[in-house]
Amino acid sequence: QSVLTQPPSVSGAPGQRVTISCTGSSSDIGAGSGVHWYQQLPGTAPKLLIYTNNNRPSGVPDRFSASTSGTSASLTISGLQAEDEADYYCQSYGSSLTDYVFGSGTKVTVL
Amino acid sequence: QVQLQQSGPGLVKPSQTLSLTCAISGDSVSNYSPTWNWIRQSPSRGLEWLGRTYYRSNWFNHYAVSVRSRITITPDSSKNQFTLQLKSVTPEDTAVYYCARSSGNFDFDYWGQGTLVTVSS
């Protein structure tokens, strides 16, 4: 059902780097309005992690970074920590026709 | 600091209308910049944007195609809140429903706490 495709899960040991991919199309990511990333801890609402490709809201650690190219985007967590264990979602906006779309979500496990 | 506080029933019978309210503090529903949104999340459908309302000299609404025939989002400036109504619900509408603010960046920067709505007789 989700429009943007993400891997179901990724894992890494503390201190390692993990990358989550997000694949869309010319109707959403490729439309150029930016890709945003959210972190969702169990039982809580998603929290904005990265906005407009690679900008961090105040309070988000700089170990989180993202990039966008064409119809795909990626989120990188450098120096993985135990508290990073959560679900991560990408999101974009296409047009008034496609509106807001979300990724399928990726569960990050810290080994 | 913007806060969104959701309220409404957690159980709705099939064919009835789901109704949730999102009360805003720290911002105004009639401000020109943001839009005010409803999003739901379920295991089968993931995160799904449902619709938004916003004020730009007049009130405007946009709804997702998947629910367009059944959804109404209504702003209330006097109470600084907005309401979701989804009619003719079925068990497929069972989900956690969130209200959220969208800034000019097309992201969702503030979210309500979420309301689990179960559609069951």
Cβ separation A38–B108 shorter than 8 A: yes
pLDDT surpasses 80 at A97: no
Residues of chain A neighbouring B102 (CB-CB closer than 8 A): 100
Residue range B61-118, pLDDT digits in tens: 999 999 999 999 999 999 999 999 999 999 999 999 999 999 888 999 999 999 999 9
Q: Considering only the C-alpha atoms of chain A, give the largest distance between any 2 of them, rounded to a whole number of Å.
A: 42
Q: What is the nearest CA distance from A104 to chain B, expressed in angstroms? A: 6
Contact residues, chain B, for A44 at CB < 8 Å: 114
Give B35's strand partners: B102
Say what the pLDDT of residue A89 is. 98
> In this predicted structure, what is the pLDDT of residue B100?
98
Whether residues B105 and A36 touch (CB distance < 8 A) is answered with yes
Round to whole Å and give the CA distance between B85 and B19: 5
Q: For B24-72, how does the pLDDT look when each residue is reduced to its tens digit (9 = 90+)?
A: 999 999 999 999 999 999 999 999 999 999 999 999 999 999 999 999 9
Give A21's pLDDT tier (boundaries 50, 70, 90): very high
Residue type, B71: I
Average pLDDT of B6-14?
A: 97
Q: B105: left (phi > 0), else alpha (psi -120 to 50), else beta? A: alpha
Distance from the Cα of A15 to chain B's closest Cα (Å) equals 28
Average pLDDT over residues A64-71: 95
Question: What pLDDT band is residue A88 in, cutting at 50, 70 and 90?
Answer: very high
DSSP A59: T
DSSP state of B77: T
- With CA atoms as reference, report the closest residue to A91 among A70, A64, A73: A73
Q: At which residue do the structure tokens 């969208």 appear?
A: B102
